[in-house]
Amino acid sequence: MSSEITNAPNFIRNQINEELETGRQSKVVTRFPPEPNGFLHVGHAKSICLNFGLAEQFNGDCHLRFDDTNPAKEEQQYVDSIKEDIHWLGFQWAGEVCYASDYFEQLYAWAQHLIREGKAYVDDLSPDEIREYRGTLTEPGRPSPYRERGVEENLELLEQMRAGNVAEGKKVLRAKIDMSSPNINLRDPILYRVRHAEHHQTGNTWKIYPSYDFTHGQSDAIEGITHSICTLEFEDHRPLYEWFLSHLPVPAKPRQIEFARLKLGYTLTSKRKLKLLVDENIVDGWDDPRMPTISGLRRRGYTPAAIRKFCEMIGVTRADSGVVDIAMLTHAIRSDLEDNAPRAMCVLDPIKVVLTNVAEGHQEVYEVPGHPAREDMGLRQVPFGRELYIDREDFMEDAPKKFFRLAPGKEVRLRNSYVIRCDEVIKGSSGEISELHCSVDFDTLGKNPEGRKVKGVIHWVSAEQALPIEVRLYDNLFTVEQPDRDKDADFFDHLNPESLVIVQGMAEPSLAKAQPESRYQFERLGYFCADRHACIDGKLVFNRTVGLRDSWAKIKKKG
Ligand code: ATP
Ligand code: MG
């Protein structure tokens, strides 16, 4: 991959550097805490690269901890895909995978501790009443009539809730903090709800489940996390995070640090909305190559290196810096594949060319570099004969002067081969072009023609040896940069009807050995990746990763 230096800001890295230098911290322990309710997306990749990246860089540890406090929405398939995606990105968590549910027993004991300290109580208000009593940003809350229950009664009621003797919604456990705090999160937040649901880790053991707020900081403390890095929407939860840590006998005092989440142009980064696209069959599953999921990017042809480079390029700031140009993401993969993808010639919309001065059965084979700058990629064999395919786009019947490809009476060079001239256009009964009859100038192999300039070069494949391939031409899933900006409008309205166009093309025979997930530059067309699901039993299906034109590199040059 090209060694561009990125000096994008990363305030957390700077901060940790300083802590280690001044001895305020001796080891860095971070964690990545996904909720197993969907597949990871490019926004999560930012968080993964940050948390695992810091651990890697400072010789610390990064834990993988499933934040599994909501039994209703969580599933094992999500747990599995999350682990696979992290490994694929090239990261390894320290020790065993952790689950917040591993700490349910300890959290329960800490809830009892708060009750004994007079800092928690069981509340019988309904969810609606709780909301109403909580007040608003401009109005203080009111205390629940159950707020002054005695310690013994609270302990007994919590036991009853745990034992499954209380119906859902009838009682909750709340912290007793401050009903008039300007921070609504401190107005007696909920610690436990009754939920008679099966959990993918703990089965039917629990009838009550802790809230995210009551779980997260204490889990961090149990695991000895030093830097609990999260996105900005948790900023207002920080006082509560700290309140729990200071009122409980926790073994460590982690610190919460917030950063701005990634927003990416033409893309959704909400698991809930991505799940809708899957559930409504707008896309072909979570790993559809148009999805911004890590598994979708992978199937599209993205490499781990490109995603990691993109995350480095965008940097880490506290302030929200708006929508990231998707050209930055495509730039990252393009520059990786430019250096590392072998070349091949493929024709996406074949039109037959008959070379009338080449004998029937004539065969030539060219030895062509696998990559123009990578000797280690060796040579590939490109056969040439009397009949070829070229792309329909590379021929024009009434060509303007500046059209430097094939036209009647005009010459063009076949890449790696001869210069040919179009002598005759053969049409079918309905007027469509069926064949081009051309002739070869045999004196042009590896040298310029005598006495004239031929500007254009086009790609081609030998018809006899060509391999039929299916090519899936992917484009952005949405036609607007912020598909979910308008809260009242439906993002479905902005779906791009041309986000997938499937064509049947012809490829040079060297592609016969293309393995699933192998990536190529199809010369003059772009970068393509053999589909990991469809390429079985010798079938060749390629996904377009990106085209060749790099608008980000251009912007950088101008800027
Ligand atoms: P959603 O609300 O869309 O389902 P989430 O943020 O709740 O997503 P989690 O599974 O809780 O999803 O996320 C795990 C970690 O990834 C969290 O620390 C979260 O802050 C971080 N994360 C999620 N989305 C982004 C994003 N767009 N940019 C950076 N970090 C993100
Ligand atoms: Mg979340």
pLDDT at 6: 62
pLDDT at 558: 63
- CA-nearest of 551, 555, 533, 557 to 543 is 533
Cα 34 to ligand 2 centre (Å): 7
The C-alpha angle with vertex 333 and arms to 64 and 483, in degrees rounded to 5, equals 75
Residues 6+ apart with CB under 8 A from 383: 363, 364, 365, 366, 462, 464, 465, 508, 509
> What CATH number corresponds to the domain at position 556?
2.40.240.10
263 is catalytic: no
Choosing from 35, 387, 435, 470, which is the catalytic residue? Answer: 35
| Last residue within a domain, chosen from 235, 259, 283 | 259
pLDDT at 2: 39
Q: Decide whether any atom of ligand 1 lies within 6 Å of the 112 Cβ.
A: no
Residues 377 and 486 occupy one common structural domain: no
Residues 78 and 210 occupy one common structural domain: yes
Residues 365 and 392 occupy one common structural domain: yes
Residue 219 DSSP class: H
> What CATH number corresponds to the domain at position 120?
3.40.50.620
Helix (H, G, I), strand (E, B) or coil at 266: coil
Residues 72 and 181 occupy one common structural domain: yes
pLDDT at 543: 98
Residues 443 and 473 occupy one common structural domain: no
- Structural domain boundaries enclosing 430: 346-459
CA distances from 23 to 13, 26, 256, 522, 551 (A): 15, 6, 19, 53, 45
271 is catalytic: yes
**Contact indicator for 25, 16 with CB cutoff of 8 Å:** yes
Residues 535 and 559 occupy one common structural domain: yes
| Last residue within a domain, chosen from 240, 259, 278 | 259
* Probe target for ligand 1 pocket from 30, 46, 47, with the most ligand atoms within 8 Å of CB: 47
Alpha helices in 58-102 (DSSP H): 76-88
What is the distance between the alpha carbons of residues 436 and 534, in angstroms, rounded to a whole number? 33
Residues 394 and 448 occupy one common structural domain: yes
Q: Which ligand has the minimum distance to the alpha carbon of residue 292?
A: 1
Residues 450 and 383 occupy one common structural domain: yes
Residues 449 and 521 occupy one common structural domain: no
**Contact indicator for 500, 473 with CB cutoff of 8 Å:** yes
Choosing from 261, 275, 410, 415, which is the catalytic residue? Answer: 261
Residues 120 and 231 occupy one common structural domain: yes
H or E element in which residue 246 lies: helix 238-247
261 is catalytic: yes
CA distances from 184 to 57, 69, 135, 181 (A): 38, 22, 8, 6
pLDDT at 3: 40
Q: How many domains does the chain fold into?
A: 3
**Contact indicator for 194, 168 with CB cutoff of 8 Å:** yes
H or E element in which residue 151 lies: helix 151-163
Residues 338 and 424 occupy one common structural domain: no
Residues of the chain with pLDDT under 70: 1-6, 554, 556-559
Which residues are in the CB-under-5-Å shell of ion ligand 2? 35
pLDDT at 1: 41
Residues 312 and 373 occupy one common structural domain: no
Q: Decide whether any atom of ligand 1 lies within 6 Å of the 255 Cβ.
A: no
